[in-house]
Chains A and B, each alone.
Chain A
Amino acid sequence: MALVRVRGQLRQLADGCAEHELEGAIVVELLRQLERDHPAVAGWILDERGQIRRHINVFVNGERGEESTPVGPDDRVDVLPAISGG
Chain B
Amino acid sequence: MTELIVGTKKGLFVLNGKADGSFEVSARAFAGEPVDYATRDPRSGRVLAATSSPIYGPKLWYTEDPAGEWMQAAGVELPEDAGAALERLWVITPAESEDCLLAGGDPGVLFESEDAGASWRVNEALWKHPTRSSWQPGGGGLCLHSIAPWPGNADRLAVAVSAAGVWLTEDRGRTWRQGNNGLVARYLPEDAQVGVTALCVHHMERSPQRPERLFMQFHGGVYRSDDAGETWSDIGNGLPSDFGFPLTIDPADPDRAYVIPLRADTDRVTPDGRVRVYETTDAGTSWSALAEGLPQTDAYLTVLRQAFDSTGAAEALELYFGATSGELFGSRDAGASWFTAASRLPPIYSLAASR
Contact = CB atoms under 8 A, between A and B. Distances in A.
Interface of A: 9, 40, 43-45, 47-51, 53, 55-56, 81-82, 84
Contacts of A40: 72
B294 to A, nearest CB: 30
Contacts, number: 39
Contacts of A84: 54
B120 to A, nearest CB: 12
Q: B interface, by DSSP: helix, strand, loop or mixed?
A: loop
B85 A47 contact: yes
Contacts of A44: 56-57
A43 B55 contact: no
Nearest to B72: A40
Interface residues of B, number: 15
Given A43-B77, A48-B77, A81 B86 contact: no
Nearest to A81: B55
Contacts of A51: 85
25 contacts: A9-B56, A40-B72, A44-B56, A44-B57, A45-B56, A47-B57, A48-B77, A48-B78, A48-B80, A48-B82, A48-B84, A48-B85, A48-B86, A49-B80, A49-B82, A49-B83, A51-B85, A53-B55, A53-B57, A55-B55, A56-B55, A56-B56, A81-B55, A81-B56, A84-B54
B56 A53 contact: yes
Nearest to B86: A48
B79 interface: yes
Interface string B45-87: 0000000001111010000000000001000011110111110
A9 B83 CA distance: 27
A82 B55 CA distance: 7
B54 A49 contact: no
Contacts of B79: 48
B57 A49 contact: no
A64 B78 CA distance: 28
Nearest to B58: A43
A13 B307 CA distance: 31
